[in-house]
Amino acid sequence: MARARMTFLGKEEIERIHRASMRILGEIGIKVHSDKVSRILIEAGAVRTEADNRLRIPEHVVKAALASAPKSVLLAGRNGVKDIRIPDPKRMYVATGGTGVYITDLVKGTSRKPTLKDLHDITVIADYLQQIDFFWQLVSAQDLPDEKTSDLIEMKTVLENTCKHIQSGSLSALGAKREIEMASIIVGGEKALAKRPILSAVECPFSPLAFEGGLSEAQVVYAKAGIPVVSMSAAMAGLTSPVTISGTIAQINAENMASLVITQGANKGAPWIYSSDSVPANLRRGTIDYGALEANLMLTAAAEMARFYGLPVMCGGVGLGGNAADLRCIADGVPIMLNQALVPSDLGSGFGGLDNALGASIEGIIVDAWVWDVARESIKEFDMDDDAISVETISEGAKDGNFLTKKHTLARFRKELSTASHPEATSSLKGEKNIPGAVAKKAQREVKDILRAHKEPVLARDISKELDAVIDRARKEGK
């Protein structure tokens, strides 16, 4: 079997970046804004330098963390939804993603603040679409009055409306504990949750080489509960990391290794996923630039470092962004997503995201899903055995100059050719004029159809009441 994937770093480059990362951790060290997490690192073998209050992590400490880290991670679904087990050499699993603070109507071009109902609708749509494998909250509801409980209300809404694995995260240890409590109620306790984690948590290092107190303490809580932690370094090359690809990869690799030491120090053998969302900065605007030509090279390099260590990886950014508004047909979006699909990552996210993840579009989720359906054909496995090559068929074709009617062609053309399995990839939509925005208009109708057909929450009423109790307790405690 053969599968297309992007490659960037050779063996020598990978080893050089590894050595540089070990120097960074051993000589420069990391800044940790939590005494609790600092103690975990020191107990694991890190050394604090009083002069600059940084923690140096010797290479043998990193090696010990790599030795104890699971090389396979389960992201569990519920109620019969298929589990995700990574690494998976055959495919990339994809999700929504972004936690945007505004929603845009791609047809009208208008924007507004997202509401809890929007989050409900987005979750229902993501649960419905077979192209989406797991769920990452696409928007932050801006109509919730109490900031102390808003994250929990959003989590309840998501848990009530999808059985797919949920990727979440928290800004504090207390928030992580409450989120774990809610998930435990659904699966039957914390032991059951650790065995089959229906949640994973994105907890980001702060580039360059720093770990914020609340996020790192939340990471420790998740690790102790057996919840997979996704260590998403989000450096901006030229602003928060070196402008060179190699320098940025060395830095974010060091950040990932430090994060791994935190997780393994908190709970040896806890699941952990290597991750990077690092891309070039727009140096004129001082913003992140997911559309930069070098972005997928950086993501590929990070994924290759994860593969070097034998670790599962999330380095895929998947979605059309604002380009979804202008598509005349599905084929218009395939070249963009094809490059994204070739990044050698186990997980990817971004369906429905806009404006470098600041915004979102509900119909954009549908457009991204339709285009992904075609683009992912490029990363499927292709047969390379003797029957697939079929010298016999070539012999027959050489004689009569015709392959169209051969048994080999008739048996294999739908699997081999995307134009046969996905005719929409090369033609405009039926009944639509071939004009910019045709796909978005069709997607809006699809959104209405999905929401109209949706009937029941996926949680029983008594379970929802238990989740409400967690939220009420948090409200009373006022933290």
Reduced 3-state DSSP string for the chain: CEECCCCCCCHHHHHHHHHHHHHHHHHHCEEECCHHHHHHHHHHCCEEECCCCEEECCHHHHHHHHHHCCCCEEECCCCCCCCEEECCCCCCEEEECCCECEEECCCCCCEECCCHHHHHHHHHHHHHCCCCCEEECCECCCCCCCHHHHHHHHHHHHHHHCCCEEEECCCCHHHHHHHHHHHHHHHCCHHHHHHCCCEEEECCCECCCEECHHHHHHHHHHHHHCCCEEEEECCEECCCECCCHHHHHHHHHHHHHHHHHHHHHHCCCCCEEEEECCEEEECCCCEECCCCCCHHHHHHHHHHHHHHHCCCEEEEECCCHHHHHHCCCHHHHHHHHHHHHCCCCCEEEEECEECCCCEECHHHHHHHHHHHHHHHHHHCEECCCHHHHCHHHHHHHHHHCCCCCCHHHHHHHHHHCHHHHCHHHCCCCCCCCCCCCHHHHHHHHHHHHHHHHCCCCCCCHHHHHHHHHHHHHHHHHCC
Per-residue confidence (pLDDT) for residue 263, from 0 to 100: 98
Separation of alpha carbons 461 and 388, rounded Å: 53
Q: Are residues 359 and 411 in the same domain?
A: no
* Domain-embedded: residue 2: no
Confidence class for position 441, pLDDT limits 50, 70, 90? very high
Let me know whether 346 and 401 are in one domain: no
Examine residue 125 and state whether it is found in any structural domain, yes or no.
Answer: yes
> Tell me, what's the pLDDT at 378?
84
Is 15 inside any structural domain? no
Question: Mean pLDDT over all residues of the chain?
Answer: 94
| Residues 286 and 357 reside in one and the same domain | yes
Average pLDDT of the residues in 235-247 = 97
Q: Which amino acid is at 207?
A: S
Instruction: Please write the tens of the pLDDT for every residue from 348-358.
Output: 999 999 998 89
| pLDDT greater than 80 at residue 325 | yes
Given this model, what pLDDT does residue 434 score?
74
pLDDT band at 41 (very low <50, low <70, confident <90, very high): very high
Whole domain around residue 137: which residue ranges? 66-379
pLDDT attached to residue 432: 52
Q: Are residues 260 and 390 in the same domain?
A: no
5 within a domain of the structure (yes/no): no
pLDDT at 148: 85
Residues 269 and 417 in one domain: no
Residue 371 belongs to a domain: yes
Residues 229, 254, single domain; the answer is yes
The whole-number pLDDT of residue 417 equals: 84
Per-residue pLDDT, averaged over 205-213, amounts to 97
pLDDT, average across residues 214-228: 98
Given this model, what pLDDT does residue 424 score? 65
For residues 323 and 414, state if they share a domain. no
Q: Which two tokens stand for residue 436?
A: 């910019």
- The answer to whether position 398 is within a domain reads yes
Residue 9 tokens, joined: 């770093």
Q: How large a percentage of the chain has pLDDT more than 70?
A: 97
Judge whether 275 and 263 are in contact, CB under 8 Å: no
Stretch 360-384: mean pLDDT: 94
Give the range among 12-21, 140-149, 387-396, 417-426 with minimum mean pLDDT: 417-426
Q: Does 408 share its domain with 321?
A: no
388 with 373, same domain? Answer: no
Out of 352, 379, 406, pick the residue that ends a domain: 379
Same domain, 349 and 397: no
Predicted confidence at residue 1, as pLDDT, reads 84
Task: State residue 392's pLDDT score.
Answer: 96
Residue-wise pLDDT tens digits, 443-471: 999 999 999 998 888 898 999 999 999 99
Answer whether 133's CB lies under 8 Å from 157's CB. no
Do residues 355 and 396 share a domain?
A: no
**What CA–CA distances, in Å, run from 223 to 59, 152, 191, 261?**
22, 20, 13, 11
Total of domains in the chain = 2
- What is the pLDDT at residue 254? 98
> Do 322 and 340 belong to one domain?
yes
Q: What is the CATH number of the domain that holds 119?
A: 3.20.20.480
Last residue of a domain, one of 379, 403, 437: 379
Please indicate, yes or no, if residue 13 is contained in any of the structural domains: no
Residue 19 lies in a domain: no
Structural contact between residues 136 and 169, judged by C-beta atoms closer than 8 angstroms: no
The pLDDT of 51-62, averaged and rounded, is 96
